[in-house]
Amino acid sequence: MTPTDSNMMVVREQTPSEALAIVPIQFFVPASQQTTTDADFEPTPMLQIEGARETTPETPKQVQETTPKLPPAPTKIHPDAEDAAALLMMERTASYVPKTDPGMPSFSLGLTDSSQEGASTQETEREKSPETATMLEQLDSLVQKLASSASKGKDESPQIQRETGGESSAKIKTPGGINQIPDDMKQKCYIWGTRLKEDAKGDTDEYEEICTLIGQGEYILMRTHLASLQAKSDIESQIVSAICLILNQKNEKRFQAQIYCLPPDIVSMALSNHPMGEFISPKTKKEFRVEAYPSFIHFIDRKKLSSHPYIFAPVCHSGHWWLWLINTRKRKCQILDPLHKKAPSDERKDINKFTGYVFSRLITYAGGKPLEKGEKEKEIKASYVKISGQKTSYDCAIYVMKWLELIEPENIKKGKYEWDNWTQEEVDHYRVEYASRILFSEMNKQRDRAIRESSAIRLSKPSSVLLSPFCQINFADIETG
Protein backbone atom coordinates (compact mmCIF):
# COMPACT_ATOMS: atom_id res chain seq x y z
CA MET A 1 0.00 0.00 0.00
CA THR A 2 1.39 3.43 -0.93
CA PRO A 3 1.13 6.65 1.07
CA THR A 4 -1.43 7.91 -1.43
CA ASP A 5 -3.94 5.17 -0.71
CA SER A 6 -5.54 6.31 2.55
CA ASN A 7 -5.14 7.35 6.14
CA MET A 8 -4.37 4.33 8.23
CA MET A 9 -4.05 3.81 11.96
CA VAL A 10 -3.57 0.28 13.28
CA VAL A 11 -4.42 -0.28 16.94
CA ARG A 12 -4.63 -3.65 18.59
CA GLU A 13 -7.19 -4.12 21.35
CA GLN A 14 -5.80 -4.90 24.78
CA THR A 15 -7.33 -7.19 27.39
CA PRO A 16 -7.72 -6.02 31.04
CA SER A 17 -4.84 -8.25 32.18
CA GLU A 18 -2.35 -6.96 29.64
CA ALA A 19 -0.05 -3.99 30.14
CA LEU A 20 0.62 -1.21 27.68
CA ALA A 21 3.95 -1.02 25.88
CA ILE A 22 5.27 1.42 23.30
CA VAL A 23 6.32 -0.19 20.00
CA PRO A 24 6.64 1.18 16.44
CA ILE A 25 3.74 3.04 14.81
CA GLN A 26 2.95 3.53 11.12
CA PHE A 27 0.80 6.40 9.92
CA PHE A 28 0.04 7.39 6.29
CA VAL A 29 -1.15 10.75 4.97
CA PRO A 30 -3.09 11.32 1.72
CA ALA A 31 -1.16 12.65 -1.27
CA SER A 32 -3.10 15.89 -1.11
CA GLN A 33 -1.60 16.62 2.32
CA GLN A 34 1.98 15.46 1.55
CA THR A 35 4.88 17.89 1.44
CA THR A 36 7.48 15.26 0.46
CA THR A 37 7.94 13.03 -2.60
CA ASP A 38 7.55 9.26 -2.61
CA ALA A 39 11.31 8.89 -2.75
CA ASP A 40 11.73 11.04 0.36
CA PHE A 41 8.89 9.40 2.30
CA GLU A 42 9.80 7.52 5.44
CA PRO A 43 6.99 5.88 7.37
CA THR A 44 6.41 6.82 11.01
CA PRO A 45 6.65 3.94 13.51
CA MET A 46 3.46 1.96 14.15
CA LEU A 47 1.61 1.77 17.51
CA GLN A 48 0.69 -1.72 18.70
CA ILE A 49 -0.41 -3.18 21.97
CA GLU A 50 1.91 -5.90 23.19
CA GLY A 51 0.31 -9.33 23.54
CA ALA A 52 -2.62 -8.58 21.26
CA ARG A 53 -3.79 -11.14 18.71
CA GLU A 54 -3.69 -10.16 15.05
CA THR A 55 -7.26 -10.21 13.87
CA THR A 56 -9.18 -8.63 11.05
CA PRO A 57 -10.75 -5.31 12.19
CA GLU A 58 -14.40 -5.85 13.02
CA THR A 59 -17.35 -3.60 12.38
CA PRO A 60 -18.01 -1.49 15.53
CA LYS A 61 -20.62 -3.14 17.73
CA GLN A 62 -23.52 -1.43 19.44
CA VAL A 63 -22.26 -0.23 22.84
CA GLN A 64 -24.47 -0.08 25.90
CA GLU A 65 -24.64 3.21 27.79
CA THR A 66 -22.18 2.38 30.51
CA THR A 67 -19.29 4.42 31.81
CA PRO A 68 -16.03 3.42 30.14
CA LYS A 69 -13.09 2.88 32.45
CA LEU A 70 -9.56 4.06 31.97
CA PRO A 71 -7.10 1.22 31.29
CA PRO A 72 -4.70 0.32 34.09
CA ALA A 73 -1.66 2.60 34.09
CA PRO A 74 1.60 0.89 33.04
CA THR A 75 4.04 0.38 35.84
CA LYS A 76 6.99 1.69 33.81
CA ILE A 77 7.35 3.62 30.57
CA HIS A 78 10.56 4.27 28.61
CA PRO A 79 9.58 7.08 26.21
CA ASP A 80 11.78 7.93 23.27
CA ALA A 81 11.56 11.34 21.68
CA GLU A 82 10.39 9.86 18.39
CA ASP A 83 7.67 7.80 20.09
CA ALA A 84 6.33 10.78 21.97
CA ALA A 85 6.36 12.92 18.85
CA ALA A 86 4.55 10.23 16.89
CA LEU A 87 1.85 9.91 19.50
CA LEU A 88 1.37 13.66 19.68
CA MET A 89 1.13 13.80 15.92
CA MET A 90 -1.49 11.04 15.85
CA GLU A 91 -3.59 12.81 18.39
CA ARG A 92 -3.44 16.24 16.78
CA THR A 93 -3.89 15.08 13.16
CA ALA A 94 -6.85 12.79 13.77
CA SER A 95 -9.05 15.19 11.83
CA TYR A 96 -11.84 12.70 11.36
CA VAL A 97 -12.90 13.10 15.00
CA PRO A 98 -13.77 16.62 16.21
CA LYS A 99 -12.03 17.58 19.43
CA THR A 100 -12.73 20.82 21.25
CA ASP A 101 -10.00 20.76 23.88
CA PRO A 102 -7.04 18.62 22.80
CA GLY A 103 -4.72 19.90 25.49
CA MET A 104 -6.51 18.62 28.63
CA PRO A 105 -6.45 15.06 29.98
CA SER A 106 -9.73 13.25 30.48
CA PHE A 107 -9.11 12.64 34.17
CA SER A 108 -8.18 14.61 37.24
CA LEU A 109 -6.13 13.83 40.31
CA GLY A 110 -8.62 15.36 42.74
CA LEU A 111 -10.57 13.94 45.63
CA THR A 112 -12.88 11.76 43.62
CA ASP A 113 -12.99 9.21 40.84
CA SER A 114 -13.56 11.35 37.76
CA SER A 115 -13.84 8.60 35.14
CA GLN A 116 -17.58 9.18 35.05
CA GLU A 117 -17.12 12.89 34.48
CA GLY A 118 -14.61 12.27 31.71
CA ALA A 119 -16.88 9.72 30.07
CA SER A 120 -19.90 12.02 30.04
CA THR A 121 -17.84 14.86 28.58
CA GLN A 122 -16.43 12.68 25.80
CA GLU A 123 -19.88 11.34 24.89
CA THR A 124 -21.21 14.88 24.62
CA GLU A 125 -18.35 16.27 22.54
CA ARG A 126 -17.78 13.28 20.28
CA GLU A 127 -20.81 11.92 18.52
CA LYS A 128 -18.82 9.48 16.37
CA SER A 129 -18.05 5.83 17.10
CA PRO A 130 -17.92 5.03 20.85
CA GLU A 131 -14.94 2.75 20.25
CA THR A 132 -13.08 5.56 18.50
CA ALA A 133 -13.84 7.97 21.36
CA THR A 134 -12.57 5.47 23.92
CA MET A 135 -9.41 4.82 21.89
CA LEU A 136 -8.62 8.55 21.64
CA GLU A 137 -9.30 9.04 25.34
CA GLN A 138 -6.77 6.32 26.11
CA LEU A 139 -4.28 7.80 23.66
CA ASP A 140 -4.76 11.27 25.13
CA SER A 141 -4.06 9.88 28.62
CA LEU A 142 -0.96 8.05 27.38
CA VAL A 143 0.47 11.14 25.68
CA GLN A 144 0.10 13.14 28.86
CA LYS A 145 1.90 10.44 30.83
CA LEU A 146 4.75 10.35 28.30
CA ALA A 147 5.15 14.12 28.39
CA SER A 148 5.06 14.18 32.20
CA SER A 149 7.58 11.34 32.48
CA ALA A 150 9.96 12.95 29.98
CA SER A 151 9.87 16.33 31.72
CA LYS A 152 10.62 14.84 35.13
CA GLY A 153 13.31 12.48 33.85
CA LYS A 154 11.79 9.53 35.66
CA ASP A 155 11.07 6.01 34.44
CA GLU A 156 7.87 5.51 36.40
CA SER A 157 4.59 6.86 35.15
CA PRO A 158 2.35 8.93 37.44
CA GLN A 159 -0.30 6.87 39.19
CA ILE A 160 -3.92 7.96 39.01
CA GLN A 161 -5.13 8.42 42.58
CA ARG A 162 -8.64 7.24 43.30
CA GLU A 163 -10.22 7.48 46.72
CA THR A 164 -13.29 5.94 48.20
CA GLY A 165 -15.41 7.64 50.83
CA GLY A 166 -13.60 5.72 53.55
CA GLU A 167 -10.19 6.79 52.30
CA SER A 168 -11.29 10.40 52.18
CA SER A 169 -12.67 10.09 55.69
CA ALA A 170 -9.37 8.81 57.00
CA LYS A 171 -7.54 11.87 55.64
CA ILE A 172 -9.90 14.47 57.13
CA LYS A 173 -9.33 14.99 60.83
CA THR A 174 -11.99 16.97 62.64
CA PRO A 175 -12.89 18.90 64.68
CA GLY A 176 -9.34 19.53 65.95
CA GLY A 177 -7.84 19.52 62.46
CA ILE A 178 -10.59 21.48 60.71
CA ASN A 179 -8.01 23.69 58.98
CA GLN A 180 -6.50 20.63 57.31
CA ILE A 181 -9.59 20.17 55.15
CA PRO A 182 -8.92 21.49 51.62
CA ASP A 183 -10.92 24.58 50.70
CA ASP A 184 -12.56 22.88 47.74
CA MET A 185 -13.79 20.10 50.03
CA LYS A 186 -15.32 22.66 52.41
CA GLN A 187 -17.08 24.29 49.47
CA LYS A 188 -18.44 20.96 48.25
CA CYS A 189 -19.65 20.13 51.76
CA TYR A 190 -21.36 23.51 52.02
CA ILE A 191 -23.18 23.00 48.73
CA TRP A 192 -24.16 19.41 49.59
CA GLY A 193 -25.38 20.26 53.10
CA THR A 194 -27.32 23.45 52.31
CA ARG A 195 -28.80 22.53 48.92
CA LEU A 196 -32.48 21.55 48.85
CA LYS A 197 -33.62 19.22 46.08
CA GLU A 198 -37.13 19.24 44.65
CA ASP A 199 -38.81 16.23 43.07
CA ALA A 200 -41.35 16.11 40.25
CA LYS A 201 -44.21 16.59 42.72
CA GLY A 202 -42.67 19.75 44.14
CA ASP A 203 -41.64 18.13 47.42
CA THR A 204 -38.20 18.90 48.85
CA ASP A 205 -35.78 16.91 50.98
CA GLU A 206 -35.66 19.57 53.71
CA TYR A 207 -36.61 17.07 56.44
CA GLU A 208 -33.96 14.51 55.50
CA GLU A 209 -31.72 13.65 58.46
CA ILE A 210 -28.13 14.27 57.35
CA CYS A 211 -26.25 14.62 60.65
CA THR A 212 -26.40 12.74 63.95
CA LEU A 213 -24.03 14.04 66.64
CA ILE A 214 -23.17 11.49 69.31
CA GLY A 215 -22.56 13.08 72.72
CA GLN A 216 -24.74 12.80 75.79
CA GLY A 217 -27.34 11.54 73.31
CA GLU A 218 -28.05 11.60 69.59
CA TYR A 219 -28.56 15.15 68.37
CA ILE A 220 -30.16 15.01 64.92
CA LEU A 221 -29.92 17.73 62.29
CA MET A 222 -32.07 17.82 59.18
CA ARG A 223 -31.15 19.38 55.87
CA THR A 224 -33.40 22.36 56.58
CA HIS A 225 -31.20 23.21 59.59
CA LEU A 226 -28.03 23.21 57.46
CA ALA A 227 -29.85 25.20 54.77
CA SER A 228 -30.13 28.09 57.25
CA LEU A 229 -26.38 28.64 56.68
CA GLN A 230 -27.21 29.95 53.20
CA ALA A 231 -26.42 33.58 52.46
CA LYS A 232 -28.55 36.23 54.16
CA SER A 233 -30.44 33.57 56.15
CA ASP A 234 -31.21 33.56 59.86
CA ILE A 235 -29.42 30.59 61.37
CA GLU A 236 -31.48 27.93 63.13
CA SER A 237 -31.08 27.27 66.84
CA GLN A 238 -30.07 23.65 66.11
CA ILE A 239 -26.91 24.84 64.32
CA VAL A 240 -25.83 26.85 67.36
CA SER A 241 -26.57 23.87 69.63
CA ALA A 242 -24.49 21.62 67.37
CA ILE A 243 -21.51 23.97 67.62
CA CYS A 244 -21.87 24.05 71.43
CA LEU A 245 -21.85 20.24 71.56
CA ILE A 246 -18.79 20.03 69.29
CA LEU A 247 -16.82 22.67 71.23
CA ASN A 248 -17.59 21.02 74.58
CA GLN A 249 -15.94 17.82 73.28
CA LYS A 250 -12.74 19.54 72.13
CA ASN A 251 -9.67 18.32 73.96
CA GLU A 252 -8.58 21.81 75.01
CA LYS A 253 -8.17 23.35 78.45
CA ARG A 254 -10.55 26.16 77.52
CA PHE A 255 -13.48 23.76 77.15
CA GLN A 256 -12.42 20.95 79.45
CA ALA A 257 -11.71 23.06 82.52
CA GLN A 258 -12.74 26.69 82.03
CA ILE A 259 -15.73 27.36 79.78
CA TYR A 260 -18.88 25.34 79.25
CA CYS A 261 -21.00 26.22 76.21
CA LEU A 262 -24.63 25.72 77.18
CA PRO A 263 -26.74 24.47 74.23
CA PRO A 264 -29.65 26.92 73.75
CA ASP A 265 -32.43 24.34 73.25
CA ILE A 266 -34.04 24.53 76.70
CA VAL A 267 -33.76 28.33 76.87
CA SER A 268 -35.31 28.64 73.39
CA MET A 269 -38.18 26.34 74.34
CA ALA A 270 -38.71 28.23 77.60
CA LEU A 271 -38.88 31.55 75.74
CA SER A 272 -41.48 30.11 73.38
CA ASN A 273 -43.64 29.33 76.43
CA HIS A 274 -42.78 32.65 78.14
CA PRO A 275 -42.57 34.94 75.06
CA MET A 276 -42.54 38.24 76.94
CA GLY A 277 -40.38 37.03 79.80
CA GLU A 278 -43.35 36.24 82.03
CA PHE A 279 -42.50 33.99 84.96
CA ILE A 280 -45.96 32.40 84.69
CA SER A 281 -46.41 31.02 81.19
CA PRO A 282 -49.52 32.31 79.41
CA LYS A 283 -49.62 28.96 77.59
CA THR A 284 -49.13 26.44 80.42
CA LYS A 285 -50.08 28.67 83.37
CA LYS A 286 -47.00 27.32 85.15
CA GLU A 287 -43.56 28.56 86.16
CA PHE A 288 -40.44 27.37 84.40
CA ARG A 289 -39.18 23.95 85.45
CA VAL A 290 -36.19 22.17 83.91
CA GLU A 291 -38.01 18.84 84.18
CA ALA A 292 -40.66 20.10 81.75
CA TYR A 293 -38.16 19.68 78.87
CA PRO A 294 -37.02 16.05 79.10
CA SER A 295 -36.15 15.81 75.39
CA PHE A 296 -33.25 18.22 75.85
CA ILE A 297 -32.01 17.51 79.37
CA HIS A 298 -29.68 14.70 78.30
CA PHE A 299 -27.77 17.05 75.99
CA ILE A 300 -26.57 19.00 79.03
CA ASP A 301 -23.27 18.00 80.62
CA ARG A 302 -24.21 18.37 84.28
CA LYS A 303 -20.66 17.96 85.54
CA LYS A 304 -19.27 20.80 83.44
CA LEU A 305 -22.32 23.00 83.98
CA SER A 306 -21.90 22.76 87.77
CA SER A 307 -18.09 22.90 87.94
CA HIS A 308 -16.67 25.16 85.20
CA PRO A 309 -15.90 28.73 86.29
CA TYR A 310 -17.54 30.21 83.19
CA ILE A 311 -20.72 29.41 81.31
CA PHE A 312 -21.21 30.82 77.82
CA ALA A 313 -24.92 30.69 77.01
CA PRO A 314 -26.34 31.72 73.60
CA VAL A 315 -29.87 33.19 73.61
CA CYS A 316 -32.22 33.81 70.70
CA HIS A 317 -35.45 35.78 70.72
CA SER A 318 -37.43 37.18 67.79
CA GLY A 319 -34.71 36.07 65.37
CA HIS A 320 -31.84 37.85 67.16
CA TRP A 321 -28.94 36.18 69.00
CA TRP A 322 -26.83 37.39 71.90
CA LEU A 323 -24.45 35.74 74.36
CA TRP A 324 -24.51 35.50 78.16
CA LEU A 325 -21.18 35.23 80.00
CA ILE A 326 -21.76 33.80 83.49
CA ASN A 327 -18.99 33.81 86.10
CA THR A 328 -20.18 31.04 88.43
CA ARG A 329 -17.54 31.87 91.06
CA LYS A 330 -18.42 35.54 91.43
CA ARG A 331 -22.10 35.12 90.47
CA LYS A 332 -21.65 37.83 87.85
CA CYS A 333 -23.41 37.97 84.48
CA GLN A 334 -22.59 39.96 81.36
CA ILE A 335 -24.15 40.15 77.89
CA LEU A 336 -22.37 40.42 74.53
CA ASP A 337 -24.83 41.55 71.89
CA PRO A 338 -23.57 41.79 68.29
CA LEU A 339 -26.08 44.58 67.58
CA HIS A 340 -26.84 46.43 70.83
CA LYS A 341 -24.72 48.11 73.49
CA LYS A 342 -27.62 48.10 75.96
CA ALA A 343 -31.06 46.56 76.29
CA PRO A 344 -33.02 48.02 73.36
CA SER A 345 -36.40 47.95 75.15
CA ASP A 346 -38.19 47.23 78.42
CA GLU A 347 -39.37 43.97 76.87
CA ARG A 348 -35.74 42.93 76.39
CA LYS A 349 -35.03 43.77 80.03
CA ASP A 350 -37.86 41.46 81.11
CA ILE A 351 -36.60 38.72 78.81
CA ASN A 352 -33.10 39.08 80.26
CA LYS A 353 -34.43 38.70 83.80
CA PHE A 354 -36.33 35.58 82.81
CA THR A 355 -33.37 34.00 81.00
CA GLY A 356 -31.14 34.75 84.01
CA TYR A 357 -33.64 32.83 86.14
CA VAL A 358 -33.60 29.92 83.65
CA PHE A 359 -29.78 29.76 83.78
CA SER A 360 -29.80 29.76 87.57
CA ARG A 361 -32.36 26.93 87.63
CA LEU A 362 -30.30 24.89 85.14
CA ILE A 363 -27.12 25.30 87.22
CA THR A 364 -29.00 24.24 90.34
CA TYR A 365 -30.52 21.25 88.51
CA ALA A 366 -26.98 20.16 87.52
CA GLY A 367 -25.83 20.27 91.16
CA GLY A 368 -24.34 23.76 91.33
CA LYS A 369 -25.22 26.80 93.40
CA PRO A 370 -27.93 29.20 92.16
CA LEU A 371 -26.88 32.61 90.88
CA GLU A 372 -29.17 34.22 93.46
CA LYS A 373 -31.25 32.89 96.32
CA GLY A 374 -34.98 33.07 96.95
CA GLU A 375 -36.95 35.76 95.15
CA LYS A 376 -33.75 37.49 94.09
CA GLU A 377 -33.28 34.67 91.59
CA LYS A 378 -35.96 36.41 89.52
CA GLU A 379 -34.08 39.71 89.62
CA ILE A 380 -30.73 38.60 88.18
CA LYS A 381 -29.05 41.46 86.35
CA ALA A 382 -26.62 41.29 83.48
CA SER A 383 -24.61 44.27 82.25
CA TYR A 384 -23.98 44.84 78.54
CA VAL A 385 -20.42 44.79 77.26
CA LYS A 386 -19.55 47.27 74.53
CA ILE A 387 -18.13 45.31 71.64
CA SER A 388 -17.88 45.74 67.88
CA GLY A 389 -20.39 43.45 66.20
CA GLN A 390 -22.42 42.63 63.12
CA LYS A 391 -22.76 44.84 60.05
CA THR A 392 -25.94 43.19 58.73
CA SER A 393 -29.29 42.18 60.15
CA TYR A 394 -28.71 38.42 59.77
CA ASP A 395 -25.18 37.56 60.99
CA CYS A 396 -25.79 37.67 64.77
CA ALA A 397 -25.58 33.86 65.14
CA ILE A 398 -22.23 33.79 63.33
CA TYR A 399 -20.80 36.27 65.85
CA VAL A 400 -22.20 34.38 68.82
CA MET A 401 -20.78 31.04 67.63
CA LYS A 402 -17.34 32.54 66.95
CA TRP A 403 -17.34 34.33 70.30
CA LEU A 404 -17.79 30.99 72.04
CA GLU A 405 -14.25 30.19 70.91
CA LEU A 406 -12.58 33.59 71.05
CA ILE A 407 -13.85 35.69 73.94
CA GLU A 408 -11.57 35.82 77.00
CA PRO A 409 -13.68 37.04 79.95
CA GLU A 410 -10.66 38.45 81.80
CA ASN A 411 -10.07 40.84 78.89
CA ILE A 412 -13.33 42.67 79.54
CA LYS A 413 -12.15 45.99 80.97
CA LYS A 414 -14.50 48.69 82.21
CA GLY A 415 -17.43 47.22 80.37
CA LYS A 416 -15.61 47.09 77.01
CA TYR A 417 -14.02 44.35 74.96
CA GLU A 418 -11.43 45.50 72.44
CA TRP A 419 -10.86 43.27 69.47
CA ASP A 420 -10.33 43.38 65.70
CA ASN A 421 -13.70 42.80 64.09
CA TRP A 422 -13.97 40.70 60.94
CA THR A 423 -14.57 41.94 57.44
CA GLN A 424 -17.89 41.04 55.86
CA GLU A 425 -16.07 38.67 53.52
CA GLU A 426 -14.71 36.78 56.54
CA VAL A 427 -18.16 36.60 58.13
CA ASP A 428 -19.58 35.20 54.88
CA HIS A 429 -16.79 32.62 54.78
CA TYR A 430 -17.69 31.35 58.28
CA ARG A 431 -21.01 30.08 56.92
CA VAL A 432 -19.04 27.78 54.63
CA GLU A 433 -16.75 26.77 57.48
CA TYR A 434 -19.55 25.84 59.86
CA ALA A 435 -21.18 23.46 57.39
CA SER A 436 -18.03 21.34 57.09
CA ARG A 437 -17.29 21.73 60.77
CA ILE A 438 -20.59 20.10 61.68
CA LEU A 439 -20.90 17.52 58.92
CA PHE A 440 -17.24 16.42 59.04
CA SER A 441 -17.13 16.33 62.85
CA GLU A 442 -15.94 13.05 64.30
CA MET A 443 -19.06 13.21 66.49
CA ASN A 444 -21.24 12.87 63.38
CA LYS A 445 -22.38 9.27 62.93
CA GLN A 446 -23.14 10.03 59.27
CA ARG A 447 -19.75 11.60 58.62
CA ASP A 448 -18.61 9.08 56.00
CA ARG A 449 -21.73 9.72 53.95
CA ALA A 450 -21.18 13.48 54.14
CA ILE A 451 -17.60 13.08 52.91
CA ARG A 452 -18.54 10.63 50.17
CA GLU A 453 -21.44 12.65 48.77
CA SER A 454 -19.60 15.96 49.10
CA SER A 455 -16.65 14.48 47.21
CA ALA A 456 -18.93 13.45 44.34
CA ILE A 457 -19.90 17.05 43.60
CA ARG A 458 -18.33 18.79 40.59
CA LEU A 459 -18.41 22.57 40.57
CA SER A 460 -17.99 24.57 37.39
CA LYS A 461 -17.58 27.90 39.16
CA PRO A 462 -14.12 29.03 40.36
CA SER A 463 -13.40 28.05 43.96
CA SER A 464 -12.52 31.63 44.95
CA VAL A 465 -16.05 32.68 43.99
CA LEU A 466 -17.67 29.84 45.91
CA LEU A 467 -16.01 30.92 49.17
CA SER A 468 -18.60 33.67 49.30
CA PRO A 469 -22.03 32.17 50.02
CA PHE A 470 -23.49 35.12 48.12
CA CYS A 471 -22.54 33.22 44.97
CA GLN A 472 -25.81 32.00 43.50
CA ILE A 473 -25.62 28.27 42.62
CA ASN A 474 -28.15 26.36 40.57
CA PHE A 475 -28.31 22.78 39.37
CA ALA A 476 -26.63 23.68 36.06
CA ASP A 477 -23.46 24.54 37.99
CA ILE A 478 -23.32 21.23 39.87
CA GLU A 479 -22.62 17.72 38.69
CA THR A 480 -22.64 14.68 40.90
CA GLY A 481 -20.88 11.41 40.21
Grade residue 121 by pLDDT with cuts at 50, 70 and 90.
very low
pLDDT band at 460 (very low <50, low <70, confident <90, very high): confident
**pLDDT at position 181, please?**
85
Give the list of residues 6+ apart from residue 426 with CB closer than 8 angstroms, or none.
none
Q: Please provide the CATH number assigned to the domain covering 182-197+204-479.
A: 3.40.395.10
Say what percent of the chain tops pLDDT 70. 58
Residue 373 has pLDDT above 50, yes or no: yes
Average pLDDT, rounded, for the chain? 75
pLDDT the model gives residue 122: 43
Look up the pTM and report it.
0.63
- Asked if pLDDT for residue 248 goes beyond 80, the answer is yes
59 contacts 37 by C-beta, under 8 angstroms: no
For the chain, what are the domain ranges? Answer: 182-197+204-479
Which carries the bigger pLDDT value, residue 50 or residue 209?
209
Tens of pLDDT, residue by residue over 265-320, are 999 999 999 999 999 999 999 999 999 999 999 999 999 999 999 999 999 999 99
Q: Pick 94 or 414 by higher pLDDT.
A: 414
Q: What is the pLDDT of residues 319-369, one digit of tens each?
A: 999 999 999 999 999 999 999 999 999 999 999 999 999 999 999 999 999
